[in-house]
Amino acid sequence: MQKIVVEAPGGPEVMRLQPFEAGPPGAGEVLVRHTAIGVNMIDTYHRAGIYPLATPFGLGLEAAGVVEAVGEGVEGLAPGDRVVYFAATTGSYASHRRVAAMAVVKLPHSLDDETAAAAWLKACTVEFLVERCARVRPGQWVLVTAAAGGVGLLLVQWLKAVGASVIGVVSPGKEAKAAEAGADHVLGYADMPARVREISGGGVDVVIDGVGKATFTQAIDSLRRRGLHISFGNASGPIGPVDFGILAQKGSLFTTRPTLFDYYAEPADFEAGAARALAMLTGGQLRVTIGQRYPLGEAIACHRDLEARKTVGSTILLP
Ligand code: NDP
């Protein structure tokens, strides 16, 4: 068994692949042998110390694989089951992991392991953002930044599926990907807010922004009066302190900084959200783009590319 270990937060080079023993699953746990590991921008925040963890620590929140053993009291899962999971704690950059059975979802035949690892946490994120946080209605204008990213491509497709008009913002060279996902208009970052306001006839209803620091002002300025600003990530760095007065000055705006784990904390929310995300993935409404695959031992190169904005769609590590 092998896993990535970080002794002290820092750049990509702090990730080391080391041998380890996952041990038998405890009560309520299963041992999963990973076949594909989902990479998320949040992994870089953990690695760099933007979201501090006690050292030494592992990385990664999600993976797909096969159940090898089940702990006491686990029902509905058995050795040999193909599964996917995401967890609030890190440690998925590994060949094996013990995880809480309640976080584990059985994979239908129609969803292969790589696609599941590439899309699971991201599809659940998009589910809560569109359906429960923004509650997007047909005909609303929605602005999505990093629209050709892992979450971005799924977000554009989900928004189109619920009938929104979508403006995607990407860096140069990624326009075709966002357009293929269904974005009605694809713009560059410098087009915010002027072109966004022009296209949407005065400002969008909702901005869903994972870029953070670099786009905060332009995102707020792209909204219509009483529009909703959702900041759900820090790809360019955290936004930092904000003067609430700005919300009044810019048109009685709403803002929120949500996380997946608050929307999936209650078992009933998890069950309903996961079922909806699974249905969207297997029903053909979401096409998953795996833009990059790296061996687990090349996690350093993987993080370098992700942080240098060289990736499109989802990224996976292969143990
Ligand atoms: P992406 O695949 O979207 O990769 C990040 C993208 O952000 C880049 O490709 C790039 O796209 C854009 N970007 C803009 N500025 C920068 C910068 N300075 N450095 C690096 N990237 C930049 O990653 P994910 O799909 O994994 O995540 C997208 C966002 O969603 C992240 O902010 C993440 O934290 C957030 N997230 C939040 C969750 C929550 O619960 N709140 C859950 C899951 C994800 P481009 O080149 O087009 O600008």
pLDDT tens string 61-86: 999 999 999 999 999 999 999 999 99
Last residue in a domain, options 257, 273, 294:
257
Percent of the chain at pLDDT exceeding 90:
100
Determine the structural domain holding residue 198 and report its residue range.
138-257
Same domain, 225 and 313: no
In 3D, which of 79, 127, 83, 124 has the Cα closest to residue 104? 83
Answer yes or no: is 195 within a domain: yes
Among the three residues 233, 257, 281, which one is the final residue of a domain in this structure?
A: 257
Rounded mean pLDDT, 146-166: 98
User: What residue's CA is closest to ligand 1, atom 15?
Assistant: 236
Question: pLDDT digits over 258-277, tens only?
Answer: 999 999 999 999 999 999 99
The ligand 1 atom at the shortest distance from the C-alpha of residue 263 is: 40
Q: What is the pLDDT of residues 201-237, one digit of tens each?
A: 999 999 999 999 999 999 999 999 999 999 999 999 9
Same domain, 239 and 219: yes
Could you give the number of structural domains in the chain? 2
Q: Provide the token pair at 11.
A: 């750049």
The domain that holds 73 is classified in CATH as: 3.90.180.10
Mean pLDDT, residues 103-109: 98
pLDDT at 180: 98
Give the position, in ligand 1's atom list, of the atom nearest the Cα of 232: 41
Of 44, 151, 156, 157, best ligand 1 pocket probe by most atoms within 8 Å of the beta carbon: 151
Average of pLDDT values for 237-243? 95
- Pair 241, 302 in one domain: no
pLDDT in the model for residue 261: 96
Rounded distance from Cα 245 to ligand 1 centre (Å) = 27
For residue 127, is it within any domain? no
pLDDT band of residue 238 (cuts 50, 70, 90) is very high
Pocket of ligand 1 (CB under 6 A): 40-42, 122, 125, 146, 148-152, 170-171, 174, 210-211, 214, 232-236, 258-260, 306-307, 309, 311
Q: What is the pLDDT of residue 251?
A: 98
Count how many Cα atoms sit within 13 Å of the Cα of residue 215 in the half-sphere of its side chain: 30
Cβ–Cβ < 8 Å for 113, 36? yes
Q: How far apart are CA 234 and CA 308, in angstroms?
A: 14
Tell me, in angstroms, the distance from the centre of ligand 1 to residue 7's CA.
25
With bands split at pLDDT 50, 70 and 90, how would you rate the model's confidence at 108? very high
**176 and 80 in a common domain:** no
Task: Classify residue 125: in a domain, yes or no.
Answer: no
Judge whether 104 and 82 are in contact, CB under 8 Å.
no
Q: Contact 9/49 with Cβ under 8 angstroms?
A: yes
Q: Is 114 found in the same domain as 86?
A: yes
pLDDT given at position 130: 98
pLDDT band for position 43 (cuts 50, 70, 90): very high
Q: Does 160 lie in the same domain as 239? A: yes
